[in-house]
Copies of this chain bind each other. A is one copy, B any other.
Amino acid sequence: MNLSPLLQELISALRALPGVGPKSAQRMALHLLERDRRGALSLSVALEQAVENIGECRRCRNLSEREICAVCEDGTRDASVICVLESPVDLMAVEQTGGFNGVYFVLKGHLSPIDGIGPEELGLEQLFARVDQGNVSELILATNPTVEGEATAHYIAEQLQQSSVNITRIAHGVPVGGELEFVDGGTLAHAFAGRRSLKRSADV
């Protein structure tokens, strides 16, 4: 097809966006060029700035442009309650419920021996060290209710079986096999309220 090479490049670059096929990429490129060049430039700048400046929080592994993220730095939050999540998307979903006032620890994945993802890749030593330091009263395991998410939650609970920290798992409300980020806020809030202990001793 006789297209401007730069337009062709833009269309194929837009394919990097999840869920964007060739037709949508074409529509997006033409929309921006014909109707929203300012929006296109803002997006260009925002992408560059984000990629260059956003790293991960040293404390919780959440996406952050500072060494310590805004949640970890917020003195009004209860740093003794740590919610363990698979990804920053899940963190945003929980934050949006507005019902959680603790802090987070982002695994950036789940245990998956086949893909070479073990405890180290998930930063679990860092998490366990934090628990060992004391000052942590509860660890809420909010990994996805999938086979891998459950396995990861159980592995963490197992490793901390001897420590004094409370270990809970978010409960009913989150549909089995689903993913946290697609769950509505009410359901998520429910799941937090109904969390239960995973420690064998805690049930006695």
In chain A, positions 78-102 with a C-beta closer than 8 Å to chain B are 87-89, 92, 95-96
Known: A42-B13, A70-B4, A89-B26. A50 touches B63 (CB 8 A): no
Whether the pair B71, A30 counts as a contact (CB closer than 8 A) is: no
Contact of A34 with B92 in the complex, beta carbons under 8 Å = no
Query: Is A2 positioned at the interface, with any CB of B under 8 Å from its CB?
Result: yes
Q: Which residues of B sit under 8 angstroms from A44, Cβ to Cβ?
A: 43-45, 47-48, 51
A40 CA to B173 CA, complexed, in Å: 35
CB interface residues, A 1-24, toward B, < 8 Å: 1-7, 9-10, 12-14, 16-19, 24
Known A26-B92, A71-B2; judge A39-B13 contact (CB<8 A).
Answer: yes
Option from B19, B33, B63 in Cβ contact (under 8 Å) with A7 = B63
Q: Give the oligomeric copy count.
A: 2
Residue A138 is within 8 A (CB to CB) of chain B in the complex: no
Which one of A18, A50, A71, A87 has the highest number of Cβ atoms from chain B below 10 Å of its Cβ?
Answer: A50
In the complex, whether A74 has a CB less than 8 A from a CB of chain B is yes
Is A64 located at the chain interface by the 8 A CB criterion? yes
Residues of B within 8 A of A167 (CB): none
Q: A39-B16, A44-B47, A47-B41 are in contact. Are A92 and B3 (CB under 8 A)?
A: yes
Cβ contacts under 8 Å, A40 to chain B: 16, 47, 50-51
Check: A117 CB closer than 8 A to any chain B CB.
no
In this assembly, does A69 line the interface, its C-beta being within 8 Å of a C-beta of chain B? yes
Q: Enumerate the 3 nearest inter-chain pairs by beta-carbon distance, A residue then B residue, closest first.
A: A16-B39, A13-B46, A44-B47
Chain A residues at the B interface, C-beta cutoff of 8 Å: 1-7, 9-10, 12-14, 16-19, 24, 26-34, 36-37, 39-51, 53-54, 63-66, 69-71, 74, 87-89, 92, 95-96, 108, 181
- 6 other contacts beyond A19-B27, A19-B28, A43-B44, with CB at 8 A cut-off? A1-B95, A3-B92, A9-B49, A16-B39, A17-B17, A33-B54
